Amino acid sequence: MPDLHPRTEQPEARRETGKNAEHEPVLTGTFVSVLLVGAVITACWLGVLYLFISRN
């Protein structure tokens, strides 16, 4: 009878260096996108704050 239970073995943590190491993706674009979204949110907030202060 085949074994119907999935194996629960944990994969071994690999800490390889050199040519065989897995390369992590470059996150430069993600960082720039987050900065741009933050700048837009900050600009909107400052615009609303300016409107609030100038009307009083």
**Would you give the distance in Å from CA 40 to the centre of its chain?**
18
Q: How confident is the model at residue 56 (pLDDT cuts 50, 70, 90)?
A: confident
Token match 């100038």: residue?
54
Burial annotation 5-28 (CB, 10 A radius, 16+ → b, else e)? eeeeeeeeeeeeeeeeeeeeeeee
pLDDT tens track for 14-43: 555 656 568 889 999 999 999 999 999 999
State the pTM of this model. Answer: 0.55
The DSSP 8-state label assigned to residue 21 in this structure reads S
The DSSP 8-state label assigned to residue 55 in this structure reads T
Q: How confident is the model at residue 4 (pLDDT cuts 50, 70, 90)?
A: confident
